Amino acid sequence: MKNIRSGITFGIVGGLLTFLFGGWSVAVIGSLMGVGLGMVIIGKLERKNPMQIALSVLPTALVAGSILVLFSLYQNNFVQEAIGKRPAAVNIVLYGNLIGFLGAVLFTTLLAGMHGLPAKQEQQWRMILLAMLVVAFPFIDKLTALRWTAQIIFALIFVILGLGLNIVVGYAGLLDLGYAAFFAIGAYTTGMLSSGAHNIHINFWLVIWIAAAMAAIWGFMLGAPTLPLRGDYLAIVTLGFGEIVPVLFKNLINVTIKEPFTCWILPMFKIQTTCKVFVENFDLTLGEKGISPIGRPWFPFFGNLPTNVNTIHGQWAIGSKWLYIGEFESSNPITWYFLIIAIILLSVFVIRRLRDSRLGRSWMAIREDELAAAQMGIDPVKTKLAAFALGATFSGFAGAFYAAYISGIFPSVFDFSASIIILCVVILGGIGNINGVIVGGLVLMTADRLFLPALKDFLASLLTHTILPSISDPVVQLAVKDNANPILYRFLLFGLTLVIMMAVRPEGLIPNPQNRAELHAEEEAPVVEAETPKTKKAKKG
Amino acid sequence: MLELKDVHTYYGNIHALKGISLTVNDGEIVTLIGSNGAGKSTTLRTIQGLNKPRSGSVVLNGIELHKLPAHEIAMLGVAQSPEGRMIFPRMTVMENLEMGAYVRKDLTSFNDDLEHVFSLFPRLKERVTQKGGTLSGGEQQMLAMGRALMAKPKILLLDEPSMGLAPLLVELIFDTIKKLNQEGTTILLVEQNALMALSIAHRGYVLQTGEIILSDSAQNLKNDEMVQKSYLGVE
């Protein structure tokens, strides 16, 4: 019965989403909904024969699929009209809904059926299924003309950032409120070394490593002064760094470096020297204008040779012309999508190895109790610096990718709100849990990038076509029109999400088992027992 | 083996240890007794490097511990079962014990040592997958000792192992300390329960407001009139 309820919830949420996107979206939403529903309900199922489990969830799947299709049909016949669009063509409606329905039912039952397999096999098959979906997604997206991939890529950038921050906050327990600083350092390193700003054009495949190394070095340097600090004090200092870095990038537009000895100290004693100037009035970061365009990755195996290759990429292109077979273009998000998926896979692999290593254990010991950890022989200095540096490394990757993908960077992107959004990703997903952070990043950023703009368009057309004509008072009409823009309430919604999460599910969507045990101790059987001589005796006897 | 010479330790402006000198020889159980605030725990924290002495020296087998940070002292084979236990509350019992073995480079005998800890404290074996923070007080004490033992220490510092425990459990813990010593571990034991401590120790020191006022064999201390009056409750 509980499963049916999840089915109804999923059906309604999926159905409402079709309101925003319309057309083919029902097919994609149906399939994704099936996967989500399957993942959610298998946790509550017992392991038995795969066929039996699949059949037992079939009613749930059918209910979810039917609700979705009902909403979608309603959308097509009534809502489209209300927002001033014509209903989609019959064949899109027919096939879209059919695929959506079947996708929902198929994936729910498939995932449930897999639960009947032994745990390890189930895990493998689930990974295979997810991998297939991840690979198929951008192509389906292109076929159905939904144009979601470009926005999903933003979500994936924040997934990497979340994974990096998770090392610092989740594993080592160091609250970092200025993590976007490292994102900025990664992006600006890429921007400066791979653009016309200083006429340096280093290959993206190389510059991404330089950016990561740069972020790591700064992570190390910014970590060092915070070592004696704990808790709130540490958070405040990192907050300061987070503020300083974007301001620096904004203002490093007139850099002059003189040698102090010949320029200031000797003249003080009235000694005549020629002042040695290293750099004068040098525009390092181009300030508010930002750096643009930024070089893009290219791949030897795809695409056609651009005709203007030498002019775009300067000297680096000349010697390696044969490599110039395909450049990543903003019009084609698929290549970018697979690039960032590859970076995420690499990051997840490395972070998992780190977590299970000796270093990972010392992070967790430091998080639990720093003094006790020192007594165990753990060097708190090295351990914390490693957390800062490694955490920053991943934001270096994200920064390099971001700079190349947008092909332009501006200091305002990396301000405090970016740090907070990354922290929200980690908290929403589940502190200390890799899968949780991935889900958190996807949910939060797709909501921000995909859902809110779509909702804005939807509301705007709904207002102009249905609601506004029925309001007679022009003042009210204007007020409604101006305020019905959900993007205005972006941060309000972020805040609300956090408040609700903390109240309802403080351990995150997919919690780290340790946190769950702690926060829901009263729900599980209490294990603390009073030690009295009596019970002790009884046990002996 | 371990020698403290004229150690002065401060907490800010508070002069906690006013020139402590003591020695612990190989294979001994030495106990430090004294009332609240006498500086017993501070002495152990100073040995462990958690507090640095302002003057004086702490030497273990010729190595000057007072110049090293805490984690390097742990690496040299000094393990402590701290006051208030300081176990890792969100790690399982097993993970806590594994953390104890963090200092060891050679892990070939890890499983044997684990069995050894479990044979000393069978309760821990029943609770291996449980979180440290959910254990009862006595079990946490056992875990703290077990964790210290997993480091295979040259010298084991025990801070108030009997604190807050039921009488039967105190006996069990003291039996275990004796057993450990017979197996060859050198032990420095800090205790408020002076009677118990003196009954298993070889030698003892009496601490009062940061100074050692008496040192003798455990037997003699037990018979000392002042000790009897102040710490053993004999009228």
CA–CA separation, B146 and B94 (whole Å): 10
CA distance B79 to B158: 9
> What does the angle CA A50 – CA A55 – CA A60 come to, to the nearest 5 degrees?
125
Q: How far apart are CA A17 and CA A224, in angstroms?
A: 47
> Looking at the partner chain, which of A375, A514, A528 has a beta carbon nearest the beta carbon of B70?
A375
What's the pLDDT tens digit per position in B30-39? Answer: 999 888 888 8
Q: What confidence tier does A522 reach under pLDDT thresholds 50, 70, 90?
A: very low
Q: Which ipTM was obtained for this model?
A: 0.86
**Which residue, chain included where needed, has tokens 């997993």?**
B150
Confidence at residue A55, expressed as pLDDT on a 0 to 100 scale: 80
Residues paired with B203 in a beta bridge: B30, B217
Domain boundaries, chain A: 1-146, 153-197+207-251+293-429
Name the band, by pLDDT with cuts 50, 70 and 90, for residue A520. Answer: low
> B30-87: per-residue pLDDT in tens?
999 888 888 888 899 899 888 889 999 999 988 888 889 989 999 888 998 887 778 8
Contact: A374, B50; criterion CB under 8 Å: yes
Please answer whether residues B127 and B135 qualify as being in contact, where contact means their C-beta atoms are separated by less than 8 angstroms: yes
Residue in chain A closest to B169 (alpha carbons) equals A533
- Compute the mean pLDDT over every residue in chain A, rounded to the nearest whole number: 81
| Residue-level pLDDT at A515 | 61
Q: Which of A34-48, A124-138, A420-434, B133-147 has the lowest mean pLDDT?
A: A34-48
For A179, the token pair is 């993590």
Q: What is the pLDDT of residues A79-131, one digit of tens each?
A: 777 777 777 777 777 888 888 888 888 888 888 888 778 878 888 888 898 89
- Sign of the Cα pseudo-torsion (A432, A438, A440, A445, in order): positive
Comparing CA positions, the residue from B31, B32, B28 lying closest to residue B17 is: B32
pLDDT of residue B235: 61
Q: B133–A527: do the CB atoms touch at under 8 Å?
A: no
Kindly report the nearest CA distance between residue B20 and chain A, in angstroms.
22
Average of per-residue pLDDT across A410-426: 89
Q: Taking CB atoms and an 8 Å cut-off, how many pairs form between chains A and B?
A: 95
Query: Is A527's CB within 8 Å of B103's CB?
Result: no
Given A358, A518, A531, which is nearest B136 (Cβ)? A531
Report percent pLDDT > 90 for chain A: 19
Cis bond upstream, residue A260 (ω within 30): no
Question: Which residue has better confidence, A395 or A330?
Answer: A395
Span A245-277, pLDDT tens digits: 999 888 888 778 877 777 777 777 777 777 777
CB B17 within 8 A of CB B190: no
At A516, the pLDDT band (50, 70, 90 cuts) reads low
Q: In Å, how far is B221's CA from the nearest CA of chain A?
A: 30
Return the pLDDT at A312: 44
What dihedral angle (degrees, nearest 10) is formed by the CA atoms of A301, A306, A307, A313? -110
8 Å CB contact between B101 and B107: yes
* Euclidean distance between CA atoms A170 and B71, whole angstroms: 23
Beta carbons of B99 and A365 less than 8 Å apart: yes
Q: What is the pLDDT of residues A438-465, one digit of tens each?
A: 999 998 888 888 888 888 888 888 888 7
Domain definitions of chain B by residue range? 2-77+154-230, 90-152
Fold entry, domain B2-77+154-230 = Rossmann fold (3.40.50)
Q: Do A376 and B99 touch (CB under 8 A)?
A: yes
The pLDDT value recorded for residue A345 is: 94
Residue B195 pLDDT exceeds 60: yes
